[in-house]
Structure 1
Amino acid sequence: MDAIEQARTSDPWVKAWAPLQCPSEIIFDLLNHFDEQRARAERPAAFLAWAVETFGPVAKLRSERLMRFVEEAIELAQAEGMELSTLDRIASRVYSQPAGSVSKEIAQAQVCLETLSEVLGESASALAEKEFERVRSIPREEWIRRHAAKQAIGIAEPAHG
């Protein structure tokens, strides 16, 4: 009995969909889609839990999260070949205007990142999963050392705990 036939007879989700007379492959595609959506929804909480476990309460400070986000955005710009002078002009333009709402700016940042990922032929979600696996493999001591180096030059909040 192959996996699809086995699921057709034992998986409660498949049994629930059986009256609709959907091919099992469609049901599995739908279930995989829902699993991916659930994992994507749960991922930010997992990221934060890892950060708190690794760095302590400083990981929950808005200012710290913002500095790490800006750092990564600048590193992405650098990796794509953006000149520092362009980055300076963008920052000057942004700071010459009234501040936007945090929720709107988060949404726009994510939309822009996902659009860039698409242009580059990448999946932002898949890359985030891969990066999360990579960072979890780095010893906590190394992360603490990196944080202390950033704190020493004023680009990280003091770690407590």
Structure 2
Amino acid sequence: MRDHQTRVGAWMIDCFGEEVSADKTERADRFIEEALELAQATGWTADRGHALVDYVFGRPVGEPGQEVGGVMVTLAALCNVHGIDIDAEARREVDRITQPDIVLKIRAKQAAKPTGSALPVATASAVAATALSPAQREIARHALGLDGRRRQSYRNHYVAGEGGDDFVTLREMVEAGFARQHRASPLSGGDPIFTLTRAGAERALDPGENLKPEHFPIIGAD
């Protein structure tokens, strides 16, 4: 476990930097998120989670070291009953998240994370109140084919190779609900293809411009 903890510590600094790595509240947020996802994957239900939150926060606060021990014991017991090799899965996950392409995706998700929120992505209401950054808006207008002379978009796609600045910006847009990522194809030269959502496209429009209906149909329209 010491080697695992050391590897995770080094990955955190490389992926996020000192400040984010040292944020105790966010570290607890992400731990709870992963613990809930594990429980959900085993068939555990949300109503049990809500009941346990009320129960735990109605009791005296524990000592962190002892609670870590309890986490490790109960995690091992859970893995035993589900036939999961805890050490093998821990190594597999660290091997996965240290891959360069995965690091880029995680950084993009972190960059799009709403400030001060426990949630890893913006909610629908937060998206509604969020504007595109200058870099995002430039990419969005290019994706739509809007150059200041056209009054209506005529396309909806953008190809960006992994590792470039445009790719990182587009991944931020995906996490914020402004774009979607699609599989690469021979036509894209093997690079991922991105399209804008209506929310992203509408934020890129200048006054007097509109979106091509075929690319952005209104759901429920006749």
Gaps of 5+ in 2: 121-222
Sort the Cα spacing of 1:85 and 1:156 in 2 relative to 1 into closer, same or farther, 3 A: closer
Q: Is the 8 A contact 2:7 2:94 kept in 1?
A: no
User: What is the percentage of aligned positions where both structures have the same residue?
Assistant: 29
Kindly state the Cα deviation for residue 152 of structure 1 after the two structures are TM-superposed: 4.8
Kindly state the Cα deviation for residue 118 of structure 1 after the two structures are TM-superposed: 0.9
Kindly state the Cα deviation for residue 104 of structure 1 after the two structures are TM-superposed: 0.7
Say if 2:91 is the partner of 1:122. Answer: no
Sort the Cα spacing of 1:50 and 1:139 in 2 relative to 1 into closer, same or farther, 3 A: same
Aligned AA (1:42): D
Gaps of 5+ in 1: 1-39
Kindly state the Cα deviation for residue 72 of structure 1 after the two structures are TM-superposed: 0.3
CA distance in 1 between counterparts of 2:109 and 2:42 reads 24
CA distance in 1 between counterparts of 2:49 and 2:75 reads 16
Say if 2:95 is the partner of 1:133. Answer: yes
The alignment's TM-score, normalised by the length of structure 1, stands at: 0.67
CA distance in 1 between counterparts of 2:13 and 2:57 reads 31
Among 34, 59, 62, the residue aligned to 2:24: 62
Bigger strand share = 2
1:71 maps to which residue? 33
CA distance in 2 between counterparts of 1:142 and 1:77 reads 24
Question: What are the superposed Cα offsets for residues 38-74 of structure 1, whole Å, 9 maximum, x if unpaired?
Answer: xx32210110110111011211222221111111001
Aligned AA (2:110): H
Misfit runs of 4+, over 2 Å = 138-141, 148-153
1:148 maps to which residue? 111
Kindly state the Cα deviation for residue 97 of structure 1 after the two structures are TM-superposed: 0.5
CA distance in 1 between counterparts of 2:107 and 2:119 reads 11
CA distance in 1 between counterparts of 2:50 and 2:115 reads 23
Question: What are the superposed Cα offsets for residues 83-124 of structure 1, whole Å, 9 maximum, x if unpaired?
Answer: 111100011000010111111111101110011111111111
Say if 2:40 is the partner of 1:42. Answer: no
Aligned AA (2:108): R
CA distance in 2 between counterparts of 1:149 and 1:82 reads 29
The alignment's TM-score, normalised by the length of structure 2, stands at: 0.50
Kindly state the Cα deviation for residue 76 of structure 1 after the two structures are TM-superposed: 0.8
Count, aligned residues: 118
Kindly state the Cα deviation for residue 156 of structure 1 after the two structures are TM-superposed: 6.4
Aligned AA (1:131): E
CA distance in 1 between counterparts of 2:13 and 2:119 reads 15
Aligned AA (1:86): R
> Which shows bigger deviation, 73-82 or 145-154?
145-154
RMSD between aligned alpha carbons? Answer: 1.9
Q: SS at the partner of 1:82?
A: coil
